Amino acid sequence: MSTSKSDALVVFGVTGDLAHKMIFPALYAMAKRGTLTVPVIGVAFPKWSMARLHRRVKDSIKRSGRVDNQRALRHLLNNLTYVSGDYNSADTFASIKVALKNAKRPAFYLAIPPALFETVIKGLGAADLAKDARVIVEKPFGRDLPTARQLNRAARSVFPEDSIFRIDHFLGKEAIMNILYFRFANSFLEPIWNRNYIASIQITMSEDFGVGDRGAFYETAGCLRDVIENHLFQVIALLAMEPPGGRDFGAVQIEKAKVFKAMRPLAPDDVVRGQYAGYRSEPDVAKRSDVETFCALRLFIDSWRWEGVPFYVRSGKYLPETATEVLVELKAPPQRLFADSSPKNGRTNYIRFRLSPNSAVALAARVKHPGKDFVGDQRELYLLEQQPGEEAPYERLLTDAMMGDGALFTREDAVEAAWAVVEPVLKRHHRVRPYKRGTWGPRDADKLIAKDGSWHNP
């Protein structure tokens, strides 16, 4: 594996929404930090002039915040070139080779619809552009196990595995990285981080808005495919993985893949699917749609550490809050010495990770009230909050990919193992349950977790 920095960045789909919303602001941030030191070549079908592309870049940066460093903006624009062409045409890839000039280790970013991934990857291989290069692929990486395998085969036919960077912007968030750090940088956690002391783990990712203009996309995806199988499964992997043998990305990826392989495949009764009132009236949505806008599931990891511990995961649109939180609930003390410390009086001790919209870690413990009586209540010790000036996810992920650091990316075997967990319920499942906007989803989700308590609402 080469750890040499990429000496050029080629962005396919440079005129699209992803580039406008995420990639241009990330490149501008990199320019401000002085980490964007290579030429950037944009590729797309429209026959745009450089002036039009420059206007698009400036508009993107203004919409994401403000242009507060003219020197960095000029640096980005001066390093930007454009190739217009059809991805099915060999001439397009020949033009890219000319634009790369003397670059020996380019990185190719596929910010394009998934249906075009295989076309572009094969085009790079046919044009002899893949040698010593890296390819960065946006999610979704397949839409089920067979399509993920097909895409992996196509990518591996051209690039070695350690040159393929499957990007999931969720993994670039500071709060997600903090889970890995908090777990393995603190010795007090390891003795209790297992089935003997943990009763259950909950993950909630909620949004207080609907599908908006993404109705057509959501009809092909749904909540399970959109965020749970990728974003939230990655969080589970960081929570459940064994200590890696080192800090190199290969060691981390090996342990994450083991978690997915140990996950018990889902059955229909493990999943509650919901649909918010009015979804079928959204643009580009079928009038009798059975697509879920809310999904809750119960899963188990059949390993020595986690045997019998339920993981409860839910996500949905038009819920009361926009937030993502993890609640690791500990078991109650083995003997009830104090009447008010019963789980019936509230939650047992827990560790809470706040992942968005801000970052925090909290530890909840019972504290006695002053006086002779042995009574108290549960208080949270707040451990961390978001720091200003941190790298945005796309800036971090782009920088890491160009450096060859794959710690925050997903490996081939992990992708396929995660799809294998959800594959049984992608087509064979219960019908969606309706729920009102502004609620926490259908009541069946409460029944799913009832045996182990209740949902923690962020």
Q: Which fold has domain 171-452?
A: Dihydrodipicolinate Reductase; domain 2 (3.30.360)
pLDDT higher than 80, residue 425: yes
pLDDT at 388: 58
What does each C-alpha distance from 297 to 136, 267, 300, 313, 334 come to in angstroms? 30, 10, 10, 5, 29
Please state which of the ranges 116-130, 329-343, 357-371 shows the lowest mean pLDDT.
329-343
Q: How many Cα neighbours within 13 Å face the side chain of 82?
A: 18
Q: How many Cα neighbours within 13 Å face the side chain of 161?
A: 11
pLDDT at 335: 73
pLDDT, tens only, 137-177: 987 788 899 999 998 999 999 999 889 998 877 776 777 77
Place 187 in a pLDDT band, splitting at 50, 70 and 90: very high
> How many CB atoms neighbour CB 46 within 10 A?
11
Give the residue-averaged pLDDT of 305-323.
97
pLDDT higher than 80, residue 384: no
Q: Which CATH superfamily is domain 8-138 in?
A: NAD(P)-binding Rossmann-like Domain (3.40.50.720)
Helical H segments across 37-168, by residue range? 50-64, 70-78, 90-100, 117-126, 145-156
pLDDT at 386: 60
pLDDT at 43: 96
Question: What would the two tokens of residue 253 be?
Answer: 């990826």
Q: What share of the chain is helix, strand, coil (3-state, %, to 5)?
A: 40, 20, 40
Domain extents in the chain: 8-138, 171-452
pLDDT higher than 50, residue 1: no
Place 90 in a pLDDT band, splitting at 50, 70 and 90: very high
Distance CA 215, CA 279 (A): 9
The amino acid that residue 165 corresponds to is F
Indicate which residues carry an active-site annotation.
Answer: 231
Place 248 in a pLDDT band, splitting at 50, 70 and 90: low
